[in-house]
Amino acid sequence: MELIDGKKIAAEIKQELADKVEELKSQGKKVPHLVAVLVGNDPASETYVASKVKSCKEVGFKSTEMRYSSDITEEQLLEVVDKLNRDEDVDGYIVQLPLPGHISEERILLAIDPDKDVDGFHPFNVGKMVTGLPTYLPATPAGIVELLTRYRIETRGKHCVVIGRSNIVGTPMAVLMSRKDEHADCTVTICHSRTRNIQEITRQADILIVALGKPHFVTAEMVKEGAVVVDVGIHRVPSDKTKSGFRLIGDVDFEQVAPKCSYITPVPGGVGPMTIVSLLQNTLKAAQ
């Protein structure tokens, strides 16, 4: 079993991005500028946005965090989006999800200028991804493809099973893994909450990508010997073994499953760091 070290690969890519920023500067060009819009104070969203801003600093990008209270109206948030669309200094921006219940995520995402949509969530960019046109790829699925590529994991003709069908991870992941591409070309099956006999399907997976958001959902019986397992979940659970009183676990029961795998991503330090570098890569693309 080999661990897929997302932290290490993310650090390599950050170095590549930092070199690129130096090159831009030496050519007298502007450095990429990412804006993150955060509404309310969901603790997970706060952590994600803080990491995104910190990573921008590490590679030399300009970043701005814009915070609004959870009682901002949809109209007010649409005005924020409109301003960001027109601000020439902003190369790309994200509106962190989820948004409070009174705001339509669909309306907000539709209002984002697709050229600045570095999350790749605008339906125009989703359509481009599905049809294979160049666009911003959603950060988590793109980061996973990058991990498989850099670890030279063979994907061609393999059976990839994706658990989860969210717009952010499961659905775009399935699209990317089925593309005609040397780092994809898989036969893909999507499983979700209505899937019957899920274990029968997951046991057929050469590559199992788990993104359903349930702690330790995937157990050893669900995994084929020699499979590649990618865990997108991240959950904070109480623990009496750490100073902080909690630890992070994934959607996969790592201790049970890891011995059966050829490759597996740990939580933390697997997929998470890759999500952020993909966003940075999209921001560089937006600036160019």
Residues that bind ligand GUN (CB under 6 A): 94-97, 119, 139, 168
Our CB check for ligand GUN shows the closer of 129 and 205 to be: 129
Tokens 């999350």: give the residue.
Answer: 119
> Per residue, what are the HEC states of 94-115?
EECCCCCCCCCHHHHHHHCCHH
Choosing from 20, 62, 96, 251, which is the catalytic residue? 96
The full DSSP string for 216-259 is: T-B-GGGS-TT-EEEE---EEEE-SSSTTSEEEE-SB-HHHHGG
Our CB check for ligand GUN shows the closer of 104 and 187 to be: 104
Give min distance, CB of 140 to ligand GUN, in A. 6
Give min distance, CB of 34 to ligand GUN, in A. 11
Among candidate residues 151, 156, 200, 147, the one with its CA nearest the CA of residue 177: 156
- Strand intervals (E) in 104-227: 159-163, 187-191, 207-210
256 is catalytic: no
Give min distance, CB of 96 to ligand GUN, in A. 5
Choosing from 62, 116, 117, 119, which is the catalytic residue? 119
288 is catalytic: no
> How deeply is 126 buried, as exposed, middle or buried, from its count of CB atoms within 10 A (0-12, 13-18, 19+)?
buried
Return the residue nearest ligand GUN (CB atom): 97
What phi, psi does 16 have (nearest 5°)?
-60, -40
Our CB check for ligand GUN shows the closer of 158 and 270 to be: 270
Our CB check for ligand GUN shows the closer of 101 and 157 to be: 101
Our CB check for ligand GUN shows the closer of 96 and 125 to be: 96
253 is catalytic: no
Give min distance, CB of 213 to ligand GUN, in A. 10
Give min distance, CB of 119 to ligand GUN, in A. 5
- What are the respective helix, strand and coil percentages of the chain, to the nearest 5? 45, 20, 40
Q: Which residues are catalytic?
A: 52, 96, 119
